[in-house]
Chains A and B, each alone.
Chain A
Amino acid sequence: MFYGAAATGERVITSSSSPGVSLKQEGISYMAGARLPAVILNVMRGGPGLGSIQASQGDYFQATKGGGNGDYHLLTYAPASIQEAIDIMMFAYDKAEKYRVPCLILADGIMCQMMEPVEMPEMRDFKVDPEAKPWAVTGWKPGDAPEKRAVINSLFITTEELSEHNNVLQNTYREMEKNEKMWECYKTEDAEFIITAFGTVARIAKSAADQLRAEGIKVGVFRPITVWPFPYEALKEVAENCKAILDVEANEGQMKEDVLLAVAGTRQVEYFGHCGSQMPTTDEISKKIHEMKEGR
């Protein structure tokens, strides 16, 4: 349904929580292949399988490294507050339409059930302009310009055609890597230790950093806002003056792989987290940093 509605050029959204999003992966792969812009929301819960119904970040690999079949990526945002989720939503469709990719908002169960004050941006009227989307199913009859007939399709049966199609997709991903990386640095300038974290966990990490600074240990937080494309260069630069990195996640350390890629062996990278839908606490993070400082 989502595929069909997105094919008409209308702005469509689908949302679910982890197992539901797993179920949607077939369609998401087809949409990536057919180059259909849309916005998908995954409010992560514990897994694998039915897992739990509490918050988790266990779908990081699925969101950033694959999900469905084939060579594709989703432009993936991991907001850390309701305000940021709203702000991202205001441009998510523009980005999805610019690159003709599905855009994924990767949140967790805490964000979904949280209440906090927000400033609502000015509402805009989103009108679909068929002329701006010549690929969309907007109506065509025999005798009309042949190139305007919509064929929404992810099948390229010859190896040459598929190769050409995948080159177009890959070039799009390279453009997104160039233009769309977003991240936040929190007190990283003088940090001896940097905590890497995304989404809700990054907020806990910031509180831990403040707590540790009050104790005299200089700690900062690096938070990727786009988890695909991951801001490797920014993290590498930020990490240049620190002693070590602690990756904190509500999973078994899935993002740590990207952190390791960013620093490419130049920094010690440790992990702390839980994968049973428990959130890491400030005290736990603080304890781990103390251990690292003491060389344990």
Chain B
Amino acid sequence: MSVLFEKTPYLTEKPFHYCPGCNHGIIHRLVAECLEESGMGEKIAGVAPVGCSVFAYDYFNCDMLEAAHGRAPAVATGVKRAKPDTLVFTYQGDGDLASIGTAEIVHAAHRGEKIVTIFVNNAIYGMTGGQMAPTTLVGQRTTTSPYGRDEAWCGAPIKMSEMLAQVPGAYYIERCAVDTNANIIKTKKAIKKAFEYEKAGHGFCMIEVLSTCPTNWGLSPVEAMKWLEENMIPYYPLGVYKDKGAEGK
């Protein structure tokens, strides 16, 4: 009997703790499949963030490190520089990467660090109870913006992909989503390309993936996908923001 589909061995057997409808499950699987397809075997190390995916070290079946909040790109830098032949990636949410960890991510990009960052943006702090994040949309209600985010008071949401694409050291930056089958396939292609670039000695690469938080958005999983399409994608347009490889650099 031929095998049509099986779970990648780069995910452990541990069941995910994520809420029903959360996109972390899909994104974890895409990353793990790309790790397997990279052919790097044992030469892989991942860095988990603080936030909903803090237990990513229990799910990705490779050497893993748990970083302090926001510091994953710095930790990944230490691993990569000590072991340059290892494929090193960070997996971070927006509360981690776009808030407390902005210095680390900007300077990892600035140094052209040869790492891949998977940035999962759901426009809210999920784990801590749905507080407003730097990425929260204007007007979006959260536990700390109960009347909706007020731009005059809290600023407009930060666009990390656009921002990092301006940093000379960044090599490849793309924003994706996993709301449709077509977008899931595109996201996997992007992650795979980022790992290929890292293998070829290029960096820095970041794939931003827009994601839902049905629990803290107060929506059903299906409604949350719709909300993402109608609200997040218009503000955070999908696409390639920088690809030095495609420019032949």
Chain A contact residues, CB within 8 Å of chain B: 1-8, 10, 12, 26-27, 30, 34, 137-144, 149-155
Contacts and interface: CB of A to CB of B under 8 A. Distances in A.
Given A137-B65, A149-B62, A155-B66, A8 B79 contact: yes
Interface in B34-57: 41-45, 47, 54, 57
A137 B74 contact: no
A143 B62 CA distance: 10
Interface of B: 9-10, 41-45, 47, 54, 57-58, 61-68, 71, 74-83, 86
Contacts of B64: 149-153
Given A3-B65, A3-B74, A4-B75, 10 more contacts: A1-B74, A3-B67, A4-B78, A30-B68, A137-B86, A139-B41, A140-B63, A151-B65, A152-B65, A155-B54
A26 B45 contact: no
Contacts of B65: 3-4, 7, 137, 150-153
Contacts of B43: 139
Given A1-B78, A139-B86, A27 B42 contact: no
Identify the 9 closest CB pairs spanning chains A and B, nearest first: A4-B78, A142-B9, A5-B78, A141-B42, A4-B75, A139-B42, A1-B78, A153-B66, A8-B82
B86 A3 contact: no
Contacts of B75: 1, 3-4, 7
Q: Is the interface of B mostly helix, strand, loop or mixed?
A: mixed
In the complex, which of the residues A1, A4, A143, A144 has the most CB atoms of chain B within 10 Å of its own CB atom?
Answer: A4
B54 A144 contact: no
A137 B125 CA distance: 30
24 contacts: A3-B68, A4-B65, A4-B77, A4-B78, A4-B79, A5-B79, A5-B82, A6-B78, A137-B65, A139-B42, A139-B43, A139-B86, A141-B42, A143-B9, A144-B42, A149-B64, A150-B63, A151-B58, A152-B64, A153-B57, A153-B66, A154-B66, A155-B54, A155-B66
